[in-house]
Structure 1
Amino acid sequence: KMWKWIRDELLTEEAYRLGLDKSNRVEREVTFWEDNYLMNTLLTEKSGNEPITMEMIAKEYDLFREKYSTDPMVNVREILLSDSETMHEVMIKIEEGENFSELAKTYSERSWAAVNGGELGYFRMGQFQPIDKFAFKAKAGEIVGPIEIGSKYSIIKVIGKKGREPIPLEEVSDQIRKDILLSRRAKLYPKLVTELREKYDIKMYAGIFATEVVQSKEWGEVRGAISNLFVLNRR
């Protein structure tokens, strides 16, 4: 971490030495991030006035129980092969009732799993593609394959399944608190914008080249982008 900090400081100092901080592009970027930070700070301040109690957190937890639950998972043993003849040979051995785990140890080319009888361990949908969709559809104990994975073949046996399970409230209470704040901010945003537009009597008109015109009694009429107030240009 210290070395990373030193590297970052060195690079920053070099950028200042080259005068990059004075470039229009950098100034626009800095202004954008400053404005964005201030906007988020304002929304946080406005939405955080009402304390979030444990009762609120518990209610949110009950309402969205599935959201605060573990994903369904599946565990399989796999025999991964690149040779079609060997694949057919192994399929025959499986049909004859030979032990799947021992066959995986002998034949599977996924070496790290082969030593454990081909067991991949529990995984979620989206992991170990494309065998994941076959594994989740199959029942425990079922053998599926061969599944083509590029130029290879995968034969799997489902050895375990876990359904969606609620995560204990104490483990997700901080996340729920953040979610409640985000929800408040999302509801507050349009309301606050409307109030401010009415407060400053802002009107926007469609202009040439998809550029809007802002008109205010306090500011007069300004054409183009006003980075400190609004992002006006649309593409």
Structure 2
Amino acid sequence: ITIDSYLQALDTAKDKRDINRSKYNIADGMRLMFDPFERVARAHHICPCCERPFSAEEEDEFVRKQRIKAASSAEHVKVLGTESGSADSTFQQLDKLRVVYEEYVKIAKEKIPQAEKDLTELTEELEQKTQAFDDILGIVAQVKADKDSIEALVHPVDAADRSFQDIQNLQKQVDDLEYKLDFRGQGVRSMDEIQSELNTLQSTKYMAPFRCLLRYLRMIIFFLDYCIIAYCF
């Protein structure tokens, strides 16, 4: 029996049970009449069915036939009882499955379609959230790349700032030297002192980028020296 044929099998079992029960009831009813018929025939010497008078021989023959039929009827009733009980048992077993079948129908027609609908909606929602998550990952990756780029610029900026500070300091020293080289100013130092200080500055790590400036200063010194000599003479 399959699920689809359950209702048909249940109806068939019910019909078979009812038919066998009816046969059993009829046969059992007829069996119960044999003994009363025999008593009527013996007591009144007539046929129990048509009330025709019996002779002694007819009465004995009727009683003999009734006893034979009663004996065979008992066996027949027993067989019908077994068949009726079996049919009823089959029907009861199938009927117990009615609740399961009804639950199956409810699941197949209501719960499964609803579950499929919910699954479709959840799948669509998951796809949307997955796409949003991928977008967030892209943004995070871009932010990280920008952060790495900015961090990579920190050291050059620091170096540039230090270089700018060094340039300002050197510019101040150059300004001081230019002021001191002015022979009309106060506290003029000798050429040897200026040359010694320039040599000291040239030996520091900051003078490498300013060699051109030093050459320019040397030219100024040479020019001033020339002017001093010319002025003295």
TM bucket, shorter chain: under 0.3
Tell which has more relative contact order, 1 or 2 (C-alpha 8 A, sep 6+).
1
TM-score by length of 2: 0.23
Q: TM-score of the superposition, structure 1-length normalised? A: 0.23
| Larger Rg belongs to | 2
Structure having the higher strand fraction is 1
Write 1 or 2 for the structure with the bigger share of helix: 2
